[in-house]
Amino acid sequence: MIPLKQLLTDYQKKHQALPAFNIDSFEIYQAVEMAVAELSLPCIVQLSPKEDSFIHAERLLMLVKKANAEGLPIYLNMDHGVDVKRLESCLRLGFDMVHFDGSKMDYLTNQSATKYFVDKVRSTYPDALIEVEFNHINLVGTTPDSDSFTDPQKAKEFMATTGADLLAVSIGNFHGVNLSTPEHLNISLLSQIKDTLGDTFLTLHGGSGISLDQVQSTVNLGVVKVNINTDLRLKFIESLRHQLTLQNSEKIYEYLDPVVSDVKEVIKQKLISLSQNV
């Protein structure tokens, strides 16, 4: 399998991005694996700390390694990690990358903690990629303050000082989906970030609920990884509720099999749209 750094470099040159799907149930993972097998397109699967508490990285790793042995290009990331020991344990397991999230710290404390973590990882796992964040990306429904958007010069300083590989940008994106009003990204700000940081890998969190045109605009400006979670959750719940009205069975798989198929179609759409050369 192509090393993740090489794949991201190739994708960036071609104005493509990898979708990173959060896994909060084994059925979601099953849908991802089926979509990747059907399309032969790569992706990242990842766990947030709460998803890790439920799924456990060790179990997800076994599923992904089996998929890799079957030729499926699925990579592993720990998302929004704040527990350094847990991030290090994921790297020992064989994760391709981890996201150290110090965004709730003040800027200088975050910068120092991030640099310490990056230096430690580099000495032990030189091939692992490290994603970092210094602007806290808000939840849908919250009002961002003026400091929540990524400042290009601070971003340049942060990445140069820490030596990290990927930066999660805050450009009007939120975690979650606003069902009444689509999110509107500040593409002009992203263009400034791109001009300032050059070929630094950028990541877009909260990729659900953003129009395809807006997402593709970010990919043209250096975003190589787009996180997708809520869209999958919403489709899962919608489909499961529908199945509960259709069936009267004690066999769980009879409810979940069509749910997996429905989620798979959403995943396929994401894989195809992000792999297009725009």
Q: Which residues are catalytic?
A: 79
In whole angstroms, give the CA distance from residue 84 to residue 78.
11
Q: Specify whether the CB–CB gap between 255 and 278 falls below 8 A.
A: no
Q: Which of 118, 77, 113, 111 is nearest to 97 (CA)?
A: 77
Is 175 annotated to bind a ligand? Reply is yes
Neighbours of 248 (CB within 10 A): 7
Q: Specify whether the CB–CB gap between 259 and 211 falls below 8 A.
A: no
Is 101 annotated to bind a ligand? Reply is yes
Is 228 annotated to bind a ligand? Reply is yes
In whole angstroms, give the CA distance from residue 149 to residue 170.
5
Is 176 annotated to bind a ligand? Reply is yes
Residue 3 Rama label (left phi>0; alpha psi -120 to 50; beta): beta
Computed on alpha carbons and rounded to an integer, the radius of gyration of the chain in Å comes to 18
Is 80 annotated to bind a ligand? Reply is yes
DSSP state of 101: E
Q: How far is CA 100 from CA 59, 85, 142, 189, 248, in A?
A: 21, 11, 23, 23, 45
Cβ-proximal residues to 94 (8 Å cutoff; 6+ apart), any chain: 61, 65, 76
Residue 209: φ, ψ to 5°: 80, 10
Query: What's the sign of the alpha-carbon dihedral 217, 218, 223, 227?
Result: negative
Q: Which of 96, 153, 105 is nearest to 133 (CA)?
A: 105
Is 206 annotated to bind a ligand? Reply is yes
- Which residues participate in the annotated binding site for Zn(2+)? 80, 101, 133, 175, 205
- Which residues participate in the annotated binding site for dihydroxyacetone phosphate? 176, 206-208, 227-230
